[in-house]
């Protein structure tokens, strides 16, 4: 069976494949939202009547989710006992979720059809204004589903990557709001007092998005502190993550892949060698 992404994406509302004025206007809006607060949302990117098929795809692979439990501060760094207990570097929170590795989806995957649709990556690239932009070559991690259940969520953090591209597929019964504080730090100013204020719940600094199934989000999280509020209820939250990299052919490191997906493939070992060689050059 061959899946056509254009049957799922609302191309009437989002004419991403038709180069012309409507696409240009859409991109201009996304770029200005990303410049202003690092976040752009395409509500109803997937046609509502096709969403049940995406949920079914996630239900089908959910059992393959690799669970992660960690305690982390907003920076994913080690504790700093030399600092006061209230310092952001010392604020540790529970994080639990499960990633479903990309190789469980099969060739008739709707998510993969969207990811590999020729119009999709160039459109996201243009919205982000990135010059080097390639689909991830990692067979476990290129397009995945993040599954989170009651008690899960993602505590306050800054991303270590420049941007994330996600598609909301199913919300939990309660919680799961996306909260963020735009441009809270800069490359030269960590703004720890501001970070501490957000961690303490300063509503003036926090914006809340309640993303709905079918919404595509492009988010630059390196300078904007953000979290997914704790989940409650029996329904799991499903979010697809589409990954892109600056260098063609890149895959994850064996260590990180093992941590996130619970296994590695020969390609992770082979390319890790290549990467090390490249670094030595
Ligand atoms: O699950 C989400 O909606 C976003 C999670 C997030 O912040 C991340 O993956 O870095
Ligand atoms: Fe994040």
pLDDT of residue 272: 79
Q: What mean pLDDT is reported for the chain?
A: 94
For residue 271, name the pLDDT band (cuts at 50, 70, 90).
Answer: confident
Mind listing the domains of the chain with CATH numbers? 5-250 (2.60.120.620)
pLDDT of residue 32: 97
Q: For the residues 3-12, what does the mean pLDDT come to?
A: 97
Spacing, Cα 228 to ligand 1 middle (Å): 7
pLDDT of residue 274: 61
pLDDT of residue 280: 39
Q: For the residues 121-126, what does the mean pLDDT come to?
A: 98
Which residue's alpha carbon is at the smallest distance from atom 8 of ligand 1?
Answer: 159
DSSP string, the chain: ----GGGTB-TTT--TTS-SHHHHHHHHHHHHHHHHHSEEEETT-B-GGGHHHHHHHHHHHGGGPEEEEEEE-TTS----TTS-TTSGGG--EEEEEEEE-GGGS-TT-HHHHHHH-TTHHHHHHHHHT-SS-EE---TTTSEEEEEE-TT-BEEEE--SSS-EEEEEEE--SB---EEEETT-SBTTB--HHHHHHHHTT-GGG-EEE---TT-EEEE--SSSEEEEPPPBSSSPEEEEEE-EESSTT----HHHHHHHHS---HHHHHHHHHHHHHHH-
Q: What is the CA radius of gyration of the chain?
A: 19
Spacing, Cα 22 to ligand 2 middle (Å): 30
Q: What is the pLDDT of residues 185-235, one digit of tens each?
A: 999 999 999 999 999 999 999 999 999 999 999 999 999 999 999 999 999
Start-to-end CA distance of the chain, whole Å, equals: 45
pLDDT of residue 1: 61
For residue 73, pLDDT beyond 90: yes
Pocket of ligand 1 from Cβ distances under 6 Å:
146, 154, 159, 164, 166, 178, 221, 226, 228, 239
For residue 19, pLDDT beyond 80: yes
Q: For the residues 137-145, what does the mean pLDDT come to?
A: 95
The 10 Å Cβ neighbour count of residue 215 is 20
Spacing, Cα 192 to ligand 2 middle (Å): 18
Ligand 1 pocket test target in 41, 241, 256 with most atoms within 8 Å of CB: 241
Please report, for residues 20, 166, 172, 214, the alpha-carbon distance to residue 211 in angstroms, rounded to integers and kept in the order given: 28, 11, 11, 8
């Amino acid at each position: 069976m061959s899946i056509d992404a254009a049957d799922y994406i609302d191309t009437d509302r989002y004419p991403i494949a038709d180069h012309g004025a409507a696409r240009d206007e859409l991109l201009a809006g996304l770029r200005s939202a990303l410049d202003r607060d690092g976040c752009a949302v395409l509500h109803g990117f997937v046609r509502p009547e096709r969403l049940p098929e995406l949920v079914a795809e996630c239900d089908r692979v959910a059992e393959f989710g690799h669970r992660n439990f960690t305690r982390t501060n907003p920076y994913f760094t080690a504790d700093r006992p030399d600092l006061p207990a209230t310092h952001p570097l010392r604020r540790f929170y529970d994080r639990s979720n499960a990633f479903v590795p990309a190789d469980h989806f099969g060739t008739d995957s709707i998510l993969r059809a969207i990811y590999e649709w020729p119009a999709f990556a160039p459109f996201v690239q243009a919205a982000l204004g990135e010059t080097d932009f390639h689909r991830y070559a990692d067979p476990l991690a290129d397009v995945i589903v993040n599954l989170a259940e009651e008690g899960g969520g993602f505590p306050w953090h800054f991303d270590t990557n420049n941007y994330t591209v996600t598609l909301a597929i199913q919300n939990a019964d309660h919680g799961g709001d996306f909260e963020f504080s735009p441009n809270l730090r800069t490359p030269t100013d960590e703004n720890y007092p501001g970070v501490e204020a957000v961690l303490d719940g300063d509503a003036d600094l926090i914006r809340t998005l309640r993303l709905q199934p079918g919404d595509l989000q492009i988010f630059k999280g390196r300078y904007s502190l953000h979290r997914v509020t704790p989940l409650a209820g029996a329904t799991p939250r499903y979010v697809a993550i589409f990954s892109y990299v600056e260098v063609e052919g890149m895959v994850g490191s064996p260590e990180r892949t093992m941590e996130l997906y619970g296994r590695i493939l020969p390609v992770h070992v082979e390319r890790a060698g290549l990467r090390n060689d490249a670094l030595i050059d």
